Chains A and B, each alone.
Chain A
């Protein structure tokens, strides 16, 4: 596996379900991100982890719970979601170092539909 992978690629869940999205990066990066992409809206940064510590949480509802057990893995735990949470969830990683080339590399996303 190379780059950033995400599983599952598609997920349909009811509002009372609990599910988790998984992201894995094979690039040796030290920072990982969750973004939400809804139709007609800009990508929204949800969470940032650097060196396995959360450094950013952009007022995301508590029904989204991130977990970063190590620098290569990032999870997004989902619980009692709403239909408006249906979106493409993108994971990204980067090597965070001031002044260096630290572009974010994205995974293919998980298309989530909440019924």
Chain B
């Protein structure tokens, strides 16, 4: 069975500080995808990144960066120079190929980390 653990329930940092959100996953598959989603107060989940299990290169997108470590089953997310607009709940998710004709329809989510950026 697959599982995603986000041990940090809530984090608060002062604006402009860097912050890292942790994600640890469990899966028996060798082929899987990892995701991060952002859920602002408006409610909808906003897709941030998708990573496949064969690509361990770290990725940077503006102030966002992701560190995928297969050896520790972690996919951590760092925001540098945080801004108030970054305040949201962030979800890490995992999907496995189920052997069907479909792709990644079975997402397993973590419980989320509520990030508050203090002005």
- Nearest opposing residue in chain B for A106, CB measure: B45
A88 near B102 with CB under 8 A, answer no
B105 near A48 with CB under 8 A, answer yes
- Nearest opposing residue in chain A for B48, CB measure: A103
Task: Indicate the size class of the contact surface on chain A.
Answer: 20 to 34
B50 near A103 with CB under 8 A, answer yes
Q: Which residues from 19 to 51 on chain A have a C-beta closer than 8 Å to any C-beta of chain B?
A: 31, 33, 40-43, 45, 48, 50
The yes or no answer to A101 lying at the interface (CB within 8 A) is yes
> CB-CB < 8 A to A107: which residues of B?
44
The yes or no answer to B4 lying at the interface (CB within 8 A) is yes
Majority-rule SS of B interface residues: loop
Known: A41-B111, A42-B4, A42-B110. A104 touches B103 (CB 8 A): no
A31 near B43 with CB under 8 A, answer no
B103 near A100 with CB under 8 A, answer yes
- Nearest opposing residue in chain B for A41, CB measure: B111
The yes or no answer to B108 lying at the interface (CB within 8 A) is yes
| Interchain nearest-CB distance for A13 vs B (Å) | 19
B109 near A43 with CB under 8 A, answer yes
B106 near A45 with CB under 8 A, answer yes
The yes or no answer to B57 lying at the interface (CB within 8 A) is no
Q: Which residues from 81 to 119 on chain B have a C-beta closer than 8 Å to any C-beta of chain A?
A: 91, 97, 100-112
> CB-CB < 8 A to A41: which residues of B?
111
- A-B contact list, 13 entries, CB within 8 Å: A31-B105, A42-B109, A42-B112, A45-B107, A48-B105, A55-B100, A55-B102, A88-B43, A96-B102, A98-B101, A102-B105, A103-B104, A105-B47
Q: Besides the contacts A45-B107, A94-B105, what 6 more A-B pairs have beta carbons closer than 8 Å?
A: A42-B111, A42-B112, A48-B105, A94-B104, A102-B105, A106-B37
